[in-house]
Structure 1
Amino acid sequence: MPNIKFDIVKNIGTLSEGSRGWKKEVNIVSWNDRKAKIDIRDWDEKNEKMGKGITLNKEEISELRDLLNKIDIDELDVE
């Protein structure tokens, strides 16, 4: 597996923490020296290991925000 270079430019916040200390974080991350993007994924305690996640550009994060603002969370049938 090739090495993936990443730089967490800014931590926006933590969404949750698992029993083993991994945290689902929202960060601004530069991958392989490219322009930084919004990133949501699980990270270990030292931000050295990561799980699968999603990376979004400005337009995508704006659209996601708009979609989330349209829903009534109390009406969702989710855990």
Structure 2
Amino acid sequence: MADIKFEIEKELGSISESSKGWTKELNLISWNEKEAKYDLRDWAPEHEKMGKGVTLSVDELKQLKELLNNIDL
């Protein structure tokens, strides 16, 4: 399997932390030297490992924000 290159351009925030120290984070990440996208996934401490996640364009993030604003919690 080919190596995946990534660069976290901006750490936007952490949503939660597991008992093992992994954090669920929203970041702006460039994958394989492409334009950065918004990314929500679990990260090990120091970002040495990552879990599965969701990567969103600006338009997709805006749509998600609109959906979340309309949820009655």
Q: TM-score range by the shorter chain?
A: over 0.9
Between Structure 1 and Structure 2, how many residues are aligned? 73
**Match in the other structure for 1:22:** 22
Displacement over 4 Å in runs of 4+: none
Determine which structure has more spread, i.e. the larger CA radius of gyration: 1
Q: Give the partner amino acid of 1:50.
A: M
Unaligned 5+ segments in structure 2 are none
**Match in the other structure for 1:5:** 5
Backbone CA RMSD of aligned residues: 0.5
Task: Give the TM-score, by structure 2 length.
Answer: 0.98
Unaligned 5+ segments in structure 1 are 74-79
| Deviation by residue 1:35-66 (Cα, 9 ceiling, x = unmatched) | 00000000010112100000000000000000
Q: In 2, distance between residues paired with 1:2 and 1:49?
A: 16
